[in-house]
Structure 1
């Protein structure tokens, strides 16, 4: 059986190494954001949650998907954290044991909004009526 080249992704999901490193970075970022006083005005009084971190195959870049616990626009939070990325990377370097401290990228996590929208659609009278007809068949 032929082995894939190192770091190549031929349509498969992330490797175990990527998943472990990303989870390590996610936990460390949560700790740093919780403990540090981030001076960006868009982060004042906002509880930030990091739902997922995805690592590049070489682990040199990681993308964190962020949102607010409670009210808050995930796009504003992602932009504020992007402005603080250098500071966060410096703190991250002290908190994790990886060969390289990854470059950090932040994206809004809209998965919660999408799930809520799907729940609302499923609860709508039209869909409930259609589902009731399928149950009768």
Structure 2
């Protein structure tokens, strides 16, 4: 019986995660040290948030965001223009059979986190999410342990 060549689970395999993290670290170091000889790219301070590798490790999607989110499109153009040199740095730093093809995408997780914080700050949502305090319960609703009482005796009959 032939095995499936790719990971059949719902998420990425351990190897994909490990390779993605190594690519992320390598790209972060290269961009931090300005090893790419492009003044347009070097004037941006770019955060590499995540790298997801394809199951065959031939394509790596790199999620990036310039510091403060300013000039995001310019930074993305500069990264895409220098993909060959960045790929060369990755190939030199890692021992993979193939240097993955890099695809750069703006990282929107920070925007989604802000939206989530704003949502949880809403009074109606906060009221629904918060659990009632024990102070809200009457003293006769609590037994000796402080737990809510059941109005039945141990045999299950109403008290």
Normalised by the length of structure 1, the TM-score is 0.80
The structure with more helix, counted as a fraction of residues: 1
Distance 2:5 2:37 in 1: 38
Deviation at 1:122, TM superposition (A): 1.2
Contact 1:62 1:104 in 2 (8 A): yes
Q: CA deviation at 1:10?
A: 3.6
The residue aligned with 2:62 is: 64
Relative CO higher for 1 or 2, CA cutoff 8 Å, sep ≥ 6?
1
Q: Which residue pairs with 2:10 in the alignment?
A: 12
DSSP 3-state at the match of 2:47: strand
Q: Tell me the matched-pair count.
A: 133
Partner of 2:132: 135
Does structure 1 retain, via aligned residues, the 8 Å contact 2:16–2:52? yes
Moved more, 117-126 or 20-29: 117-126
Output the aligned Cα RMSD: 2.5
Deviation of 1:23 (Å): 1.0
TM-score by length of 2: 0.71
**Residue number in structure 2 paired with 1:125:** 123
**Contact (CA 8 Å) 1:63, 1:106: kept in 2 or not?**
yes
Structure 2: 5+ residue stretches without partners: 137-159
Question: 2-side partners of 1:110 and 1:79: how far apart?
Answer: 17
Deviation at 1:96, TM superposition (A): 1.3
Consecutive unaligned residues of structure 1, counting only runs of 5 or more, are none
The match for 2:141 is none
Structure 1 residue ranges, 4+ long, deviating more than 6 angstroms after superposition: none
SS, match of residue 55 in structure 2: coil
Would you say the 8 A contact 2:30–2:36 is kept in 1? no
Deviations 1:62-83 (A, max 9, x none): 0111112324254443332112
Answer yes or no: is 1:39 the counterpart of 2:31.
Answer: no
- Do the aligned partners of 2:36 and 2:85 also contact (CA within 8 Å) in 1? no
Larger Rg: 2
